[in-house]
Amino acid sequence: MRTRIGLFVLFQALYALTSSGNAFRIPDEFELYFQTEHLIDAGDISVPQALAIQQPVIVDGKVVGTQSILFGKIGQDGKPYAPYGPLAAFLAVPHHLLGRSLASLFGIPRVPQNQGLAWVIFVGGITMLSTATAAALTVAGFHRAAIALGTLPGPALWLSLLLGGATVLWPYGTSFFTEAWQAAAFIWAAALLIEARGIEKPTVRIAVAGVLIALAGLTKVTSLVFAPAFVLAVLADHTIAMNRRVQAASVLIGGIALATAVHLGWNLHRFGSAFDFGYDWAETIPVLPPQTFSLAELPRGLVVLLFSPGKSIFLWAPLTVLALINAGRSWKRDPALMVGLASALGVGLLFYGGYLFVEGGYAHGPRHLVPIIPLVILAAAGPDASRWSRPVLLTCGAVGLVMALFATGVSFLEDQALRRDAKGQAVPGYYEIVDPSPGRPNNRYRLGYVPFVTALSTPGWMQSPALGQGPDYFFLHLKQARRQLPDGQAIPASVTWIWPAFWLIVMAAAAIDLANRREKYTRAPA
């Protein structure tokens, strides 16, 4: 238990220290912040703030008008809604309230947005720590699952450290996407189900696992594509009596059904249609309705998710290579576990390989697969995890660490945003413009995209020329805000150094605590 607490504190501090703090890049982030803010201000998760902000409409390089930044739809009640799971905003509430409290403590006033943005920038950055907490919980949950599988304490610790510090989980603990919460829910559900196999009365663990799967689905509806893998794993476990397997599977199916019913009911309440999730694809899909899945696009999508430098699961989570190598041994030892892991990964690759946006929009790494990466890495754990030599682990760590460090330092939007030349023509970068088949988007992820190059090669990038640009760290953006916002001086200068200093101290304390207990949990790889 103490090791898991130490891991949680260590990675909570690391992710907070390196958090972007910039919740205002793309709708997936700023509309989630708007939902959270409006939930506290008005008691619902509509996003009227998005209607109040206008952006220019550019045609052939010329500004022809303005439109709101709303990505979503107007509901039956006349309120604007974002197309995201209803639970996501609630998960961010504790950190948002913390942000408001700290703003009050530091004397940062909340003023109308046409008079200043210091409060919003500061509170938004603290609200983003929600995903740092989720990612840290994911590392702790992975450690618990690894120990439950019979992994020795030393290898379990090594794998947990590498999951948290050398995979794409780190960048998702520093942005405001919900994938870290989905990953946390899934890995903790897996840990509880694995533990339930070895106890006489597993009812509570199975029930909690069902709730966690439902929570993942309520955070983002597409995460439910992974949920049946848990049911298959339970049913495939022949070490448990059939009646217990059926009971456990029924609980998990109940969680999936609950999440599905809530989503459909929420859609019906908002838009009058159970299957209208609120997405407005008009800007990128010329011929509607959208063709959510395309079998013809699947081969290319698999190349994107497996082999492209910007999205390869093997490059962004090198421990998955070890999981693949160890799959045979894991199958012989625990076929039920491997049924679940293989199902989750297989369904993820097949579904998202042919999905509208295989790359996950503007984002670092294989965004859609982030929720199951900790699950997949469990195949590298177990009693034989001590087989991994020091050079193998160091290699995985080095590759993953390099990718994660660059990803936390370089804003995905600054590196990937669609660029146009002087004539207004799109310049191939992260996306390429194509003539799509009906129902498919006209901007397609470019296989040749190499992450970080565009941003790092931009003249003056390190000097942070504008708010939210340059090295993507919250405390640096606060310095920009102090210099560039009309009310920026309301943010105390001390905050810009207290923030990194505090988290560095917490990291050091957690690391020392883990090191001082090394005789209990370390067994260095040979």
Cα distance between residue 508 and residue 128, in whole Å: 22
CA dist list (Å): 375 to 213, 275, 370: 13, 29, 10
3-state class of 365 per DSSP? coil
If residue 417 lies in a helix (H) or strand (E), which one and from where to where?
Answer: none
Per DSSP, the three-state class of 68 is strand
Cα 181 from Cα 169, distance rounded (Å) = 11
Residue 218: pLDDT band with limits 50, 70, 90:
very high
On average, the pLDDT of the chain sits at 93
Q: Specify the pTM.
A: 0.95
pLDDT of residue 424: 65
User: CB-based contacts of 498: which residues, under 8 Å, 6+ apart?
Assistant: none
Q: Pairing relation of β-strands 80-81 and 54-59? A: unpaired
Q: Where are the domains of the chain?
A: 1-526
In angstroms, the CA 394 to CA 398 distance is 6
- Nearest Cα to 322, choosing from 389, 406, 401, 370? 389
The pLDDT, as a whole number, for residue 106 is: 96
pLDDT tens, position by position, 323-367: 999 999 999 999 999 999 999 999 999 999 999 999 999 999 999
pLDDT in tens, 232-269: 999 999 989 999 999 999 999 999 999 999 999 999 99
Question: For residues 224 and 216, what is the distance between their CA atoms, to the nearest angstrom?
Answer: 8
pLDDT grade for 284, boundaries at 50, 70 and 90: confident
Residue 373 has pLDDT above 90, yes or no: yes
Closest-CA residue to 474 (of 40, 63, 102, 81): 102
With 60 as the cut, is the pLDDT of residue 59 above it?
Answer: no
Mean pLDDT of 113-136: 95
Q: What is the mean pLDDT of residues 261-281?
A: 94
pLDDT bucket at 524, cuts 50 / 70 / 90: very low
The more confident residue out of 375 and 515 is 375
Q: What is the pLDDT of residues 161-192, one digit of tens each?
A: 999 999 999 999 999 999 999 999 999 999 99
**pLDDT for position 516:** 80
> Residue 58's pLDDT is what?
60
pLDDT at residue number 55: 74
* Contact call for residues 37 and 48 (beta carbons, < 8 A): no
Q: 228-235 and 242-271 are packed helices; what angle lies between their axes, rounded to 10 degrees?
A: 170
pLDDT bracket for residue 280 (50, 70, 90)? confident
Asked if 21 and 478 count as a contact pair (C-beta separation under 8 A), the reply is yes
